[in-house]
Chains A and B, each alone.
Chain A
Amino acid sequence: MTDDAIVIEDLRKNFKDVKVLEGIDLKVERGTVLALLGPNGAGKTTTIRILSTLLQPDDGRAYINGHDVVKDPDAVRASIGLTGQYAAVDELLTGRENLEMMGRLYHLSKADSRTRAEEMLAEFELTDAANRAVKTYSGGMKRRLDVAASLIAAPPILFLDEPTTGLDPRSRLKVWDIVQQLVDAGATIFLTTQYLDEADKLADRIAVLDHGRIIAEGTADELKEKVGKDRLEVTVTKESDFDAALRAVEGAAAQSDPEERRVSVAMEGGVHEVKELLDRLERAGVKIEGLALHKPTLDDVFLHLTGHEAMENDQVTKK
């Protein structure tokens, strides 16, 4: 039995003549994390804006917690927390005032709003700054307050739009830790990111979005498998052995790099393959200096799927 917290069917959106989303289908099982991975301009933010009822889709349907985002936006809003790309907090108010205000707007009682604000301040290490105006906060502190604000009502479903973009390493780790805790507590998380390592670390499933289409979906391992297998890299000691080494591994899908005296071979199966390969090299009298097992990264995945790097700097300027 599946229990999907988020269901997206053939979602489409144009801005004027530009097709931003060209038919997206996705499901997110309750209690899991889905990372929507893609370069700037791929349509990640548009997707989040539609799912959080900020934007109307042109076509297709989306259900959050069973509620239609177009027909029943208020029920959707009561089920979600949203952290957008900007630290959406009131700079003139203090951290505590911001959180208490958000609690009240999520329709918590006054007492609950106060208690929750206190808890969130402690959880996000903002207690010391609680009574200071937010405009005096650092970027990382603002972001933490921003995430805290979306968690104040403990919503079952969370949207995080590039939650760690522009964060210092410490704040980034804090946000990762919180995401982990949220999942442990049973929340469903839909996050977007441009960082492959972030998707790899946080997400149960990853959907790769490029030019308004989902071009791949699966677990990090499944995506990596698409690109290729693990590769065994062998560095030979003497240059004169290089050709002998190449002959020895002939037949296996091999790549060579004479400059580095390195031969790499795609691995089909398990450990016995490694042993067999080493035996073949030994029989050929090749001395080995180094041995490394190289697992494909999500960078490889992205390059393989889209033909371009994950970060396209020339696209960074967004409308």
Chain B
Amino acid sequence: MSRSKFAIGSVKPEQRSKLYWMFSDSGVLIKRSLSHIVKNRDQVLGLTIQPIMFMLLFRYVFGGAINTGSVSYVNFLVAGILIQSAAFGALTTSLSVATDLQKGLIDRIKSLPIVGWGLLMGHVVGDLARNLIQSLVMIGIGLLVGFRPSASPYEWLLIAGIVLLFTFAISWIAAIMGLVARSVESVQWMGFFLVFPLTFASAAFAPTQTMAKWLRVFAENQPVTHVIEAVRALMIGTPIGNHAWLAAVWCIGIIAVAMPFATHLFRKYGGR
């Protein structure tokens, strides 16, 4: 019999260290998620257009009625829109994870000798890349409609760091939602109920001072507001107060809890 393509051991795995494979496995799956961005341009376009609509809506329709004191409304707005779009954009992680689950791809990945968080990390990093593109477009549009930031290059780096850290954190929460929801349909509304209050009951579109007292307590102390206020302060020079480090503590705290929890869910209950 001629040597079959199927003969056992006709190919052998490479012998490398565990650490090497940890990077290789997540690298392969990150590459997969990144190529999804290229292959699914419609989705990226849709995700970018929505916040642009929001920006124009608030800039030209509602903005005039919102009092932001000495700061022009468009300058106030950009940080809020940027973080809101990062939060809504993170839901694509939920969608991707739920899709993989539904298609049985997660079962297949779990049957491979690879690192547990590899697939989730792929989607989360894909999310970061998508959000980076989105943010640049948003800032560009902002500049067109009158946004005049005063940030130095160093401050821009800090802004990028905070936005990416926030996206990374919320994407891990989104990964958990994708694993729990188990279907693409339920992910949609779950994500909406999480992200909607967090981004609207915040300092994203209006100063918190005019909100009802109970709402104000929530809005001023929840992580999204800290992230927005920190970014806003760095962009246009409003007082930064405790916002930057509180934002960092929140994000790192969320990552520290959500990442292992998501990995645990992936291993134990990720199937159906």
Within the complex, the shortest CB–CB distance from A118 to chain B, in Å, comes to 10
Whether, in the assembled complex, B35 has its beta carbon less than 8 Å from a beta carbon of chain A, the answer is yes
Complex: A88 Cα to B112 Cα, angstroms: 13
Within the complex, the shortest CB–CB distance from A214 to chain B, in Å, comes to 23
Whether, in the assembled complex, A108 has its beta carbon less than 8 Å from a beta carbon of chain B, the answer is yes
Complex: A293 Cα to B5 Cα, angstroms: 41
Whether, in the assembled complex, A12 has its beta carbon less than 8 Å from a beta carbon of chain B, the answer is no
Q: Which of B18-50 contact A (CB under 8 A)?
A: 21, 24-25, 28-29, 32, 35-36, 39-40
Number of residue pairs across A and B with beta carbons under 8 Å? 110
Who on chain A is nearest to B106 by CB? Answer: A88
Complex: A53 Cα to B25 Cα, angstroms: 19
Chain B interface size band reads 35 or more
Who on chain A is nearest to B111 by CB? Answer: A82
Say which residue of B1, B24, B32 sits within 8 Å of A184 (CB atoms): B1
| Most chain A CB within a 10 A radius of its CB, from B11, B16, B24, B268 | B11
Whether, in the assembled complex, B242 has its beta carbon less than 8 Å from a beta carbon of chain A, the answer is no
In the complex, are the beta carbons of A108 and B9 less than 8 A apart?
no
Within the complex, the shortest CB–CB distance from A145 to chain B, in Å, comes to 12
In the complex, are the beta carbons of A54 and B28 less than 8 A apart?
no
In the complex, are the beta carbons of A105 and B107 less than 8 A apart?
no
Say which residue of A84, A89, A107, A151 sits within 8 Å of B13 (CB atoms): A107
- The interface stretch among A17-25, A72-80, A239-247, A304-312 is A72-80
Return chain B residues, CB-CB under 8 Å to A101.
28, 32
In the complex, are the beta carbons of A119 and B103 less than 8 A apart?
no
In the complex, are the beta carbons of A97 and B113 less than 8 A apart?
no
Who on chain B is nearest to A52 by CB? Answer: B111
Within the complex, the shortest CB–CB distance from A3 to chain B, in Å, comes to 13
> Provided the pairs A123-B5, A181-B4 are in contact, do residues A88 and B28 lie with their beta carbons within 8 angstroms?
no
In the complex, are the beta carbons of A92 and B36 less than 8 A apart?
yes
| Most chain A CB within a 10 A radius of its CB, from B8, B24, B40 | B8
Apart from A74-B113, A115-B11: 19 A-B pairs, beta carbons within 8 A? A49-B271, A54-B111, A55-B271, A56-B268, A77-B111, A84-B107, A88-B108, A93-B39, A105-B112, A106-B113, A107-B24, A108-B12, A155-B8, A156-B8, A181-B4, A181-B6, A184-B4, A185-B6, A186-B7
Chain B residues with CB under 8 Å of chain A are: 1, 4-14, 16, 21, 24-25, 28-29, 32, 35-36, 39-40, 103-105, 107-114, 268, 271
8 nearest A-B pairs in the assembled complex, by CB-CB distance: A86-B104, A88-B104, A107-B13, A77-B113, A88-B108, A82-B111, A185-B4, A185-B6
Chain A residues with CB under 8 Å of chain B are: 49, 52-56, 74, 77-78, 80, 82, 84-93, 97, 101-102, 104-109, 112, 115-116, 119-120, 123, 133, 149-151, 153-156, 178, 181-182, 184-187
